[in-house]
Chains A and B, each alone.
Chain A
Amino acid sequence: MKNFNWLALGFLAPALIVITVFFLAPVILTGIFSFTSMSTSTGVTGGEYLLNQSGIRALADKGLNTATLDQLKNAGYVVDEKGLAALAERHGVATATEMRKLHENGQFSSRRDMERALKSLKANKIRSTKDRKAAAELFKHSLLNERFPTESKFRTAITEGGIPLEDHELIVTQAYTGWVWTVDNVKLLFSLPSTLRYAGNTLIYVTLTLMFNIGFGLFLAISTFYLPAKSASTFRAIWFLPRILPPVMYVLLWKWLTWDTGFIATTLSWIGVAPINWMLDTSTHAWVVVVLINGSFGASLGMILFSSAIKAIPSSILYASEVDGANRWQQVRYIILPHLRWPILFITSYQTLSLLTSFEHILLSTEGGPGRATEVWSLAAYHIALDNYGGNLQYGLGATFAVALVIIGIIASLFYLRFFNFNEMVAKPKIEG
């Protein structure tokens, strides 16, 4: 008994590890991420402290008093090591040494004061005003646009900058560039008008494609069933190719068919129709093409499953119906279709989930366009989090979009458990131990 458990553990271990890292962890992390403000600009790990112009504006909006704002905005001058090193490089070590002697750690609030301090150099004078001005800049010490790796360093800096203590909290929070916990994503999800649009698009996409898949899968299965083996397998092979071809390649063929330099446009130009992009001209065009691409891809699954289900019907039952006088249509309607009830139900639920979450073909063909006419939910999640023109990838918001799909996924899988005759599947091993 013990032995068998160890064996099982050994057999399962690789899968357990992989599944933990690449399924469990991502699912949990997706949940976590959806409550953060993570994006390209916040980074993934931790954040820095940085005040920039927009930060200042935000602080002003939050009611920080003007005096403090001015202090933050206006540069101060400090004779520190960094400045001295720069001075040494520009005007020689001697100058720097003298400067250190005279003004080490000296603070000056205006440029004029700083320049005056530089004028006070005796042994190593900086003669031209222009050079002095430039040298003064070397000691410029501003909170603005300066990066601080930790909170304590930032706090020290603003304390040194003379910012009143009561304003520190507000400024520190504003200056933090890392991600924070937030429910803004969820709020955004429910308030953005595009959310509704994506949901609507998804509904259109799933419904139309599903209808095409099932309808056409049925048509292919039933029609090839009535053909002699050779022509049947020819047609099945043609319709199976879209599934087996790499998606990039498959979609390329559709582009060739539909683009303004493509087959349809060229052929129609012979009869005087001006060439247009039949894939992207209007949103109707885009929808038709998207449904056709995904439909032709998906129909093969229905074709295969329905075909084998039809083959499983005892031939005597089909013979019986013919002897009973049923014509072809009646045979399909009364005998074949009732036998396909479960496969149809299965494919419907299975494809619904697949279609809800699949976007590869849309991404490759219309990319959600024209405009956002064919941007479906999962494609939106992908665009928001992983690939958008703005360049700021919003992982947090994308994760929130994905979580909606996770929930649908779990519900659908529970639904499947009913299909797969779970109890039979988990029937106890016949060798006990």
Chain B
Amino acid sequence: MSHNFRHWPIITILTIVSLPLIIMFAFQIIDTFTTHPIDSMIPNKVTFEQFSFLWDEAETGRANIWQVTLNTFIFATTTAVVVCTVSMTTAYALSRLNFPGRRYFLGGLIILHAFPTVTLIIAIFLILQIIGLYDTLLGVIMVKAALELPFGIWIMKGFYDNVPWEIEMAGVQDGASRFTVWWKLVLPQVQPGIFALMIFSFLSGWSEFLLPQVLAPGNDAQVLSTYMTALIADDTKIDFALFKAVGMFYALPVIAIYLIFQKKLMNIYGGGTKG
């Protein structure tokens, strides 16, 4: 940027409008590790007792936190792997292979990409009940992966489109089959894309709330988002310190990944996610 403008007025305004968020984030961290007197926001004691939910016996009727965490991890990982694998092949076909109806497939993809979850979820709820996958982790994983798929294909296609045709032409000239060309020559070029998509889908799965809430409400298939919601919804005791500690535990992997891959993530979110 040129030096014709001053910075401090902008910084001041930005700080003021960002204040609610800054306060929320700051106290999120402060409150999980300290206690404070009622009617005050100023901490007076450092403590870890808010995290006792991690080692204490689960209350009756509530799932074990570690089981829930494991569920969440399985849910997010499997979703990410399925989305990446299927997007990898489909996007390549859409980007590079000639087949009848390609045009319509791509058009359909855009329509799906724009398709809202809420319009599908009622029917999916009933389908899962009919095929017996209602209230199972497997069922939610399948649905989540399917709903993420159009976005994944879309992003992957973008990555494939950027691979120079010359690489493939050279490969074909050298006598390799299209499959070999894809596997040996093209795939390595889009590795960063696959990685980015993997992170994105993992985070998306980790954060998912609505699908587990509707499609797997039971304790066995509970994930952290529904666990936390149930905790907050139980209005016998409103204990923000506990909620925040659970939230901290829940959000920790997300924040870690965010800090490490910030640039990559901003790019992929810019690529056209929902919301």
Contact = CB atoms under 8 A, between A and B. Distances in A.
Interface of A: 3-5, 7-12, 14-15, 18-19, 21-23, 25-27, 29-30, 33, 38, 44-45, 216, 219-220, 223-228, 231, 235-249, 252-257, 259, 261-263, 266-267, 269, 292, 296-298, 300-301, 304-305, 308, 318-319, 322, 328, 350-351, 353-354, 356-360, 363-364, 378, 381-382, 385-387, 395, 398-399, 402-403, 405-406, 409-410, 412-414, 416-417, 420, 422, 425-426, 428-433
Given A27-B123, A29-B127, A328 B178 contact: no
B179 interface: yes
Interface string B94-134: 10111110110111001111111111111111110110000
Contacts of A430: 165, 169
Interface of B: 1-2, 4-5, 7, 10-11, 13-14, 17-18, 20-25, 27-28, 31, 39-41, 85-87, 89-90, 92-94, 96-100, 102-103, 105-107, 110-127, 129-130, 142-143, 145-147, 149-150, 153, 165, 168-169, 172, 177-179, 203, 206-207, 209-210, 214, 224-225, 228-229, 232, 238, 240, 243-244, 247, 250-251, 254-255, 258, 262, 265-266, 269-270, 272-275
Contact of A9 (B13, B99, B124, B238): B99
B18 A235 contact: yes
A351 B273 CA distance: 10
The 8 closest A-B pairs by CB, nearest first: A357-B116, A22-B146, A26-B123, A246-B207, A8-B99, A11-B93, A413-B111, A15-B90
A433 B127 CA distance: 39
B244 to A, nearest CB: 7
A402 B254 CA distance: 32
Contacts of B145: 18
A281 B200 CA distance: 37
Nearest to A408: B116
A33 B125 contact: no
Nearest to B115: A409
Contacts, number: 305
Nearest to B229: A248
B275 A358 contact: yes
A426 B103 CA distance: 6
Nearest to A219: B17
Dominant secondary structure of chain A at its interface with chain B: helix
A400 B143 CA distance: 22
Contacts of B273: 301
B146 A227 contact: no
B130 A322 contact: no
B247 A257 contact: no
Contact of A225 (B1, B18, B117, B165): B1
B90 A413 contact: no
Given A4-B178, A7-B97, A239-B21, A359 B114 contact: no
Contacts of B27: 256, 263
A19 B270 CA distance: 24
B89 A256 contact: no
A23 B146 contact: yes
B269 to A, nearest CB: 6
Nearest to A351: B275
Contacts of A292: 20
A381 B251 contact: no
Contact of A353 (B31, B39, B116, B232): B116
B258 A241 contact: yes
A224 B40 CA distance: 35
A420 B97 CA distance: 20
A227 B102 CA distance: 45
A416 B4 contact: no
30 contacts: A3-B177, A5-B100, A12-B89, A25-B123, A26-B119, A26-B121, A26-B123, A29-B126, A238-B22, A238-B25, A246-B206, A247-B209, A255-B232, A269-B39, A300-B269, A304-B266, A318-B2, A322-B2, A350-B114, A354-B116, A360-B210, A364-B209, A381-B122, A385-B122, A409-B115, A413-B115, A416-B110, A429-B96, A430-B169, A431-B96
